[in-house]
Structure 1
Amino acid sequence: MKIPYGFTVDNHGKVTVEKTQAQVIQMIFREYLNGNSLGGLARMLESRAIPSPSGNKCWGRAAIDKLLFSSKYVPLIISLELYTAVQFEKAARSNQELRNNGSTQRKATRYNSQNVLSGLLICAECGANYRRITRASGEVVWRCANRVERRSCTQSLSIAEQDIILLVCNELSMHTFDAEHVRNSLNQILINHFETLSFEHKHMQRFSIL
């Protein structure tokens, strides 16, 4: 069995955290969230003579990107909050394109996560759409529109938008949230009483626990 970077096997055959590599992983996540690029991270790691996961002196961008996308480090090495924040940052950066003068601009896109989810999230209890709500704290959640407007639905579950996006990305095997791919792949997402999302694909149906 190949042991992932950041872990090791102790004398008893138990997989445990490798502290030095764990610190490298934590640094990579923090630096990326602070604005460092994949190339910049590679140069930084090489300048500090930190070996890559394969033991090489040079770090490839693909290796760093793979680390940033891996959820296996939650929660032993990084927190879920840090992991989620990095996934949103990756999604935001993926929506950039390079201008001829070297600057960046947002790619033209037909859909964003907000309006895609508005059309897909359905309450399994009453059949109403889910509504996007921004709380006073700044947290964005989704709730049944009937529950919000008329309290005529017994479905009181509020779901954090970041949790929905992570589940959708996992369901569709996306490294970053691609709204148009979501639109083309899913008919609807049912929100059930038992805190599950039921994904109705164009050709199949699956369930994910929140």
Structure 2
Amino acid sequence: MDTTRSEQIKAGLQKSFRSGKSSKASTVCYGYRIDSKGKLKIHPNEATHVVYIFERFAAGDSLGKISDGLFLMDVPSPTGKEIWSKETISKILSNEKYAGDVILGKTQVKNGIQVKTIDLSTKTTLTNHHPAIISKELFDSVQKEKSRRHRLRER
């Protein structure tokens, strides 16, 4: 059976995900840097802001209120803007990396467009991959709160 180049690339990515050796696992996000060995390490100043974002959301603050708080503390966004977008804050709140884990294969390209993966067999989770900025309990609590707020908006 002949496989297409695309299928070969996907199979190679899956193999690197399962082995835990994919460079995608160490993609840098706000609050982290890469050390000399290519591993994620905590950037203390930014980590303080990540903790603030998670704790304020868990305490009931809206994304807009968190953005306002960061502005009042004179904390520039990850792109250097004065005002943090609600989307940036939401993405931080959804990123499992802050709890020390990595999920590989969350998205795939279909017809040239990146979409979320539905097929769980293509996802690989690396737990305790790097130092966590927040506890898994806080991360899980925030995910439940995000889901609760989303359900309220749909009514």
The interval holding the TM-score normalised by the smaller chain is: 0.5 to 0.7
2:83 is aligned with 1:62: no
- 2:138 alignment partner, one of 57, 75, 82: 82
Whole-Å separation in 2 of the counterparts to 1:23 and 1:49: 13
Whole-Å separation in 1 of the counterparts to 2:27 and 2:39: 13
Following TM superposition, the consecutive aligned residue runs of length 4 or more in structure 1 with deviations greater than 6 angstroms are: none
Whole-Å separation in 1 of the counterparts to 2:37 and 2:72: 35
TM-aligned CA deviation for residue 70 of structure 1: 0.3
Where structure 2 has 5 or more consecutive residues not aligned to the other structure, the ranges are: 1-25, 101-131
Tell me what 1:53 maps to: 78
Whole-Å separation in 2 of the counterparts to 1:67 and 1:4: 9
2:41 alignment partner, SS class: strand
Pairwise CA RMSD: 1.8
2:141 alignment partner, SS class: helix
Which amino acid letter does the alignment assign opposite residue 78 of structure 2?
P
1:72 alignment partner, SS class: helix
Query: Higher strand proportion, which one?
Result: 1
TM-aligned CA deviation for residue 67 of structure 1: 0.2
TM-aligned CA deviation for residue 3 of structure 1: 2.1
TM-aligned CA deviation for residue 2 of structure 1: 5.6
Q: Alpha-carbon deviations, 1:73-103, whole Å to 9, x = none?
A: 1131111110000000001111224xxxxxx
Q: Alpha-carbon deviations, 1:149-176, whole Å to 9, x = none?
A: xxxxxxxxxxxxxxxxxxxxxxxxxxxx
Whole-Å separation in 2 of the counterparts to 1:29 and 1:69: 10
TM-aligned CA deviation for residue 55 of structure 1: 1.5
Larger radius of gyration: 1
TM-aligned CA deviation for residue 29 of structure 1: 0.4
* RCO comparison, higher one (Cα < 8 Å, 6+): 2
TM-score by length of 1: 0.44
Whole-Å separation in 1 of the counterparts to 2:148 and 2:134: 21
Q: Alpha-carbon deviations, 1:5-56, whole Å to 9, x = none?
A: 1101335554311011111101110000001000000011011110111111
Identity of aligned residues (%): 33
Which amino acid letter does the alignment assign opposite residue 46 of structure 1?
F
Where structure 1 has 5 or more consecutive residues not aligned to the other structure, the ranges are: 98-105, 108-210
TM-score by length of 2: 0.59
2:147 is aligned with 1:91: yes
Q: 1:79 to 1:2 in 2, by over 3 A?
A: closer
